[in-house]
Amino acid sequence: MARPKAKIDLAELEKLCAMQCTDEEIAAFFGVSTKTVERRRKVQRFSDVMDQARAKGAASIFLAKNLLGYRDVVASELSGPDGRPISIDSRPNLSNLSDEELDQLQSLVDKAQPKRSG
């Protein structure tokens, strides 16, 4: 005896696809296997709903990024020589600076300090 056919609501499927859910996430939502989702994708109506909703969702993401200025968060990591961490001394070595560089540094320090009223 065959198992009962899993019920996949097309309206719910459309919402999930518009949010760019993966087949695994869709399967988990409906309590079916990913193979079931893959088999259903071969049914024209099912496939049409998925494709149209994913296209709408992709268009929404494009518009949000371009018209509303949303951006992806890009995590980047910098590394030093040979991929090792960059070491930062707590006290910079100022002995290698030229007189001109020291004067520029002093000027920056002076500007950053609050003015004393006298």
Is the confidence at residue 116, as pLDDT, over 90?
no
Q: Could you tell me the sign of the dihedral formed by the alpha carbons of 86, 91, 96, 102, in that order? A: positive
Query: What digits encode the pLDDT tens for the residues 72-88?
Result: 776 777 777 787 877 77
Residue 4 lies in a domain: no
Is the confidence at residue 34, as pLDDT, over 70?
yes
Range of the domain at 28: 10-67
Residue 32 binned pLDDT confidence (cut-offs 50, 70, 90): very high
Number of domains in the chain: 1
> How far from each other are the two terminal CA atoms of the chain, in whole angstroms?
96
Residue 40 lies in a domain: yes
Residue 25 binned pLDDT confidence (cut-offs 50, 70, 90): very high
